[in-house]
Structure 1
């Protein structure tokens, strides 16, 4: 084995299959030795043969060779770190062998289910990948800890690695989702504080944390979620808020639709009070939130809930304007403004970040120079009469060229700015050409008047 003779290894397996179960005094089997001596070809032969075994007890032999040592399992259950390192001393690859399997109960799973915090933290330090590995039931170690109500252990591990809140298990349910389902408000807050991006995670059915809170009647959790969403201040907070509140699942239902189906007036009022909630979204059945309430007879005509819904702008699907489909937009003829908009976006997307920075500096200098020229024309301004000193012809040429240069610089600045900057920059930059236009309009008539007076 240590010599890596694959031919003779295969011969031994064929003539004496039971040799695969033999172990050294260090309790190392053939797979351990192949890994320790870097015999990849031999390891291929061994694993291939094990998976093709057909003799009696083949499944148990395969499991024993590939899975966790029983003593390691006992160490995890008892939380004995000393026993763990004794086993590592016997076989340095003991954890690597477990990690090589795609779905397995790791020592971290066992420690998490047994509430052995110190052992779990030690295992997380040794093999961080165990924290995100799923067992054959689709559960990560923290999923098991939540199911066993090991709150302190979950808190410790989340503080060590906040990204564990987003580990997806069976059906795409993350640790954060599981905490929402169980109504554990304290740990829900812990996840939101340590890993804010977990609010965006969705299950395989397209449901986020708000959907799950509504479906499982977790009103207190929903209060926490909506309160946190409306207080977000991190990057892209507005888009995250909009997406979380109005996310549609696979059936086209938002959390507000589900609250209407559940006939939970508390949740309905809570969601309606959220800013950016889209109360007139149409679900997969072609119904709005108000349609669902009325069709199921959940509100009295003229009642408080209906009045509250109407006050926030809720409408029936029949009264909403017809939605424009995506293909209708592409079928429509291209207008002049659409062409300009497309050209502007192309300039922005085709320009590298380095070139963008250089061009923005140049445009800024041009804007500054042309703006200053409008305030202080060449030759100065007559102090007593307040108009330009230069002749009319030269002033007109200067005014036209200066205006063209100024407008072009403004236009290319808009083209070069990233799309996300338009909302703020548009309002700021629009003040500049407006004020400059006033200067131009004030200077030009005075120059014309001066020229007329001179000619008479």
Structure 2
């Protein structure tokens, strides 16, 4: 049987109502920059036994097993073909859930099989609006939403383009990784939602992205919100080109959206928004109604408040070759040293070092709170200060503060770069240093002197480590090694 249909996305706003006798066994989404030459596809069934085709269409499990009894290799022969229409494709197009579940029990691999038009069974069910069938398939295996079909389109991306918010939400819950999928044109779900004017779907997607708690959720959120297609357009650029105020405000509210990203034409969101607004008005704002003008002004105010700028006002970013050929500075050497230190430390060693540093921080901080020998308990001027002699206290203060500061700094070095906890630890470490300095000052014979000295000591230790790292890296670039060494710890 041969059937023809227009598989372009121009029909997506409406709900298709095909005859139950017609088999939509291919879909060819006509996306922007698509490689398809013609949206009219000739749909041919595979050389599947017509009786098996009829059984799948009618959902007769008894007929299926009668055919298996007649030819036990009937399903194996279909599976051996790389691209073929399977009984599961037929069941998906017809929405026969019991037959599909039986087929999945017999041949789970059919769920990922593509027909000659690049469609999996889930693609067909999504295109035919067989929502219950799609849900059952997702409950069976959530990763089926990520099966790449023609043009790299997954069932999830197809549901986004069709605007089915319920199925989009179900896909995100059963397969959270599907938010990272892209077409062959490097368009992710946000690009497609903008292209096909799916505002509610865009709300679902941005809501999910900002609520993610999976591994690397922060980097995934940044990568999806600021994904670049082949023209280096982010979803925000596409929104500006469509002059959609609702979508623009929604994306601008996302905190990780790069508002001043430059696209392939060297334009930012603000550039495109202003140009598009003027072209829609024919160069005359008075030709637009007062409501449209007010909306444009409101969006411009929102864009300005969120830091949107035109490309001309942005500093020219350095290219990769300019960065690589730039001369070495102190901070370049130090950052290289720190990256190598983190890279050379294995996860097992990092865990051991963190435990050791934690014990050192705890012991040194406890010493500051409860010094050896205790404190004076009398009511005179020495109440609360240490009992030990001042010379011993100075030695204890130097050694204890050195251990505390070094352990705290090394703990910071061991924390992975880019993690959210790294920024938190700066504040935690700073607060702990202030508490330590105050604790030492309270028990010292001269509080103000030791308070100032403790803060100065922290700075000296940090500067010493920075200088040592700089000299160690600098020696590697010198033809003759210097005779003077600052460090007692590192060996050449």
- What is the correspondence of 1:174-253 to structure 2 with a 5 Å cutoff? 174-253=154-233
Determine the structure 1 residue equivalent to 2:130: 150
Is 1:281 the counterpart of 2:261? The answer is yes
Determine the structure 1 residue equivalent to 2:244: 264
Partners of 1:425 and 1:177 in 2: CA distance? 39
Q: CA deviation at 1:443?
A: 4.5
Moved more, 243-252 or 216-225: 216-225
Q: Deviations over 1:219-259 (max 9, x none)?
A: 23223323333344444443333322221111111111111
Is 1:393 the counterpart of 2:391? The answer is yes
Is 1:114 the counterpart of 2:112? The answer is no
Is 1:418 the counterpart of 2:419? The answer is no
Is 1:367 the counterpart of 2:367? The answer is no
Query: 4+ runs of 1 displaced by more than 6 Å?
Result: none
Determine the structure 2 residue equivalent to 1:34: none
Is 1:308 the counterpart of 2:288? The answer is no
Determine the structure 2 residue equivalent to 1:318: 312
Determine the structure 2 residue equivalent to 1:91: 71
Is contact 1:88–1:94 with CA below 8 Å preserved after alignment? yes
CA gap of 1:128–1:223, structure 2 versus 1, over 3 A, is same
Q: CA deviation at 1:319?
A: 0.6
Is contact 1:288–1:315 with CA below 8 Å preserved after alignment? yes
Partners of 1:223 and 1:393 in 2: CA distance? 67
Determine the structure 2 residue equivalent to 1:435: 435
- Alignment equivalent of 1:408, drawn from 402, 406, 409: 406
Q: Deviations over 1:166-213 (max 9, x none)?
A: 111100111011112122222222222222221221111111111111
CA gap of 1:171–1:436, structure 2 versus 1, over 3 A, is same
Partners of 1:155 and 1:149 in 2: CA distance? 11
CA gap of 1:370–1:224, structure 2 versus 1, over 3 A, is closer
Q: Deviations over 1:30-81 (max 9, x none)?
A: xxxxxxxxxxxxxxxxxxxxxxxxxxxxxxxxxx9x9633432232222221
Q: CA deviation at 1:330?
A: 3.0
Of the two, which has the highest radius of gyration? 1
Q: CA deviation at 1:448?
A: 11
Determine the structure 2 residue equivalent to 1:105: 85
Is contact 1:363–1:410 with CA below 8 Å preserved after alignment? yes
Unaligned regions of 5+ residues in structure 1, if any?
Answer: 1-63, 450-456
Partners of 1:193 and 1:329 in 2: CA distance? 41
TM-score, reference length from structure 1:
0.77
Partners of 2:206 and 2:351 in 1: CA distance? 39
Alignment RMSD: 2.7
Is contact 2:441–2:448 with CA below 8 Å preserved after alignment? no
Is contact 1:177–1:209 with CA below 8 Å preserved after alignment? yes
Partners of 1:180 and 1:78 in 2: CA distance? 30
Determine the structure 1 residue equivalent to 2:118: 138
Q: CA deviation at 1:317?
A: 0.3
Unaligned regions of 5+ residues in structure 2, if any?
Answer: 1-44, 286-292, 450-492
Partners of 1:360 and 1:228 in 2: CA distance? 34
Q: CA deviation at 1:143?
A: 1.0
Determine the structure 2 residue equivalent to 1:42: none
Is contact 2:441–2:447 with CA below 8 Å preserved after alignment? no
Q: CA deviation at 1:158?
A: 1.5
